[in-house]
């Protein structure tokens, strides 16, 4: 039994094809790391499928995602090709993301600059920095106070 389905778009290829699901409102719309550019943040008000179309206009989705897509009018222009058992694995985190065109089902287009692996690593580690900086500053203040106390004690001793 296969778990993946190959889809094809007859018009678009080599892009990130975004299909927003109108029936799935996001409680907290936020900046999308995949669709945004540094100078142009993009927010999705609804849940959105991000489909990486290859050079042939093909992509892979799970059977559950396909069921959801069938509820979208005209399946957002996508066609079912076949069930597959050898779809490529997916990766998130400290990975490279190539510069790519983002196309929505309503034909809005933009380009994202992509991320190098190093940029992805920096972003992955970033959430800990404010917390750790605050802790480091707290300890630094304590050490400064201890040093000042020692110095004053030394001066009095002389």
Partner 1 sequence: MASFVYDEGRRAAFGGVPTHSAIDLNDDALGVYFVDEGTDTPNQTSDQDDADRTGQNPTFANAPNLGSAGSRVTISSNVLVFDAADLVFTGSGALTGVTSVESIDMWKDSGTSSTSPMFANFDDYTGLPLTPAGVDVTIVWAATGIVRV
- List of residues contacting partner 1 (CB under 8 A): 2-5, 21, 24-28, 30-34, 44, 47-51, 59-65, 68, 87-97, 115, 117, 120-121, 123-128, 131-132, 135-136
Q: With respect to partner 1, which residue has the nearer C-beta, 70 or 151?
A: 70
CB neighbours (10 Å) of residue 52? 16
Q: How far is the CB of 156 from partner 1 (least distance, A)?
A: 33
Tell which residue, 42, 15, 38, 9, has the closest CA to residue 99: 15
Q: How far is the CB of 11 from partner 1 (least distance, A)?
A: 19
**Interatomic CA distance for residues 123 and 31, integer angstroms:** 14
Angle at 16 between CA 116 and CA 56, to 5 degrees: 110
Q: With respect to partner 1, which residue has the nearer C-beta, 123 or 146?
A: 123
CB neighbours (10 Å) of residue 37? 12
Q: How far is the CB of 71 from partner 1 (least distance, A)?
A: 10
Q: How far is the CB of 67 from partner 1 (least distance, A)?
A: 9
Q: How far is the CB of 70 from partner 1 (least distance, A)?
A: 12
Q: Which residue has the tokens 């090709």?
A: 81
CB-based burial label for 109 (10 Å; 0-12, 13-18, 19+): exposed
Q: With respect to partner 1, which residue has the nearer C-beta, 89 or 157?
A: 89
Q: With respect to partner 1, which residue has the nearer C-beta, 114 or 151?
A: 114
Q: With respect to partner 1, which residue has the nearer C-beta, 13 or 21?
A: 21
For residue 97, give the 3-state DSSP assignment: strand
């Amino acid at each position: 039994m296969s778990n993946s389905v190959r889809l094809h778009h007859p018009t678009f290829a080599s892009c990130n094809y975004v299909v927003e699901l109108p029936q799935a409102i996001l409680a907290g719309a936020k900046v999308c790391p995949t669709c945004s550019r540094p100078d142009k943040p993009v927010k999705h008000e609804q849940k959105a499928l991000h489909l990486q179309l290859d050079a042939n206009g093909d992509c892979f989705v799970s059977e559950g995602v396909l069921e959801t897509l069938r509820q979208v009018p005209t399946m957002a222009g996508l066609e079912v090709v076949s069930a597959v058992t050898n779809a490529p694995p997916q990766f998130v985190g400290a990975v490279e993301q190539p510069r790519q065109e983002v196309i929505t089902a309503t034909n809005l287009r933009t380009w994202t600059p992509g991320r190098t692996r190093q940029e992805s690593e920096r972003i992955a580690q970033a959430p800990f920095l404010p917390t750790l900086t605050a802790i480091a500053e707290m300890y630094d203040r304590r050490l400064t106070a201890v040093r000042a106390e020692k110095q004053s004690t030394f001066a009095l001793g002389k």
